[in-house]
Structure 1
């Protein structure tokens, strides 16, 4: 089972990126979580380039297509999704890479309700299938945890493990179109 993890932050010390890496380390043996590393290389979305997209965009679409599911963790900026996350999603709108694609949403700040709702709205418009039982809110922001701290924190680690097991269960019964 292959899951592509996408972080909506470019910060070197991004808690959302740490959360995705922690999830990758806690994944069941038959689940591989690959963290997408190309967000900073994506150019600003330009519909004029949609017919002949840059190589970085083709790579993003190929990685999404090849994944059994996508896992997204993104901070909230000014009550919305980050510009980098919106930009990446905009590059995929005219394709079918998210149509019926299972998506898991991790929210590292339970107070960040606006971005979570906006992200879910965008994904819904693109016909992605959000795996609700695997999508969780984790109290990571303000907890002073790094990646290793998330792994050793009993509550955070258990929430992550349960979410990944729920994703595995849902993906095993996910209808193929």
Structure 2
């Protein structure tokens, strides 16, 4: 199974990147997971053309080819980062690679709520008619207090959180398999 995972920020350091790398390593026997960075992507402008940017065309093709998508978002001022919003705008204007694509939303933040507001906003964006992704309902992985959540090797330190992630990932794999019947 091929999954495409999007780091929801263009920041140099991100616990969401660490989370996706952990997911990539932890579930390597269940899925091949490619991680996508949002660094150096152009800001969306409807006067511009996606085809002018090879990196955006590449992302579109990888989303289309993937069996499912994982998006890990931080929370900036109760919302998703501008870099993630810009990517979603590129992928919903003239091209629609997310259409009917299973998506798992996860998030990590310094606070106790684990990017809950950003995840809610992201879910609303993903189900809009222009994107039309199939977001697994009721499947949330909200990792809070991230400064203490990982060890020096990038592994989750809390067994409870690790089990929650395992459950969410297994549910997502089942959800994807449902679409491939």
| TM-score where L is the length of structure 2 | 0.86
Q: 1:1-177 alignment to 2 at 5 Å? A: 1-27=1-27, 29-37=29-37, 39-50=38-49, 52-94=51-93, 95-109=95-109, 110-125=113-128, 126-132=131-137, 134-146=139-151, 148-174=153-179
Q: Which has the higher helix share?
A: 1
Q: Is the 8 A contact 1:108 1:139 kept in 2?
A: yes
Q: How many residues align?
A: 175
Structure 1: give runs of 5+ residues left out of the alignment.
none
Q: Please tell me the root mean square deviation across aligned C-alpha atoms, in Å.
A: 2.1
Greater RCO, 1 or 2 (C-alpha within 8 Å, sep 6+): 1
Deviation at 1:40, TM superposition (A): 1.0
- Listed one character per residue, the Cα deviations across residues 3-49 of structure 1 (whole Å, up to 9, x for unaligned) are 11101122333100000110111115131111113x11211112122
Structure 2: give runs of 5+ residues left out of the alignment.
none
| TM-score where L is the length of structure 1 | 0.88
Distance 2:64 2:53 in 1: 17
Distance 2:22 2:90 in 1: 27
Distance 1:116 1:24 in 2: 20
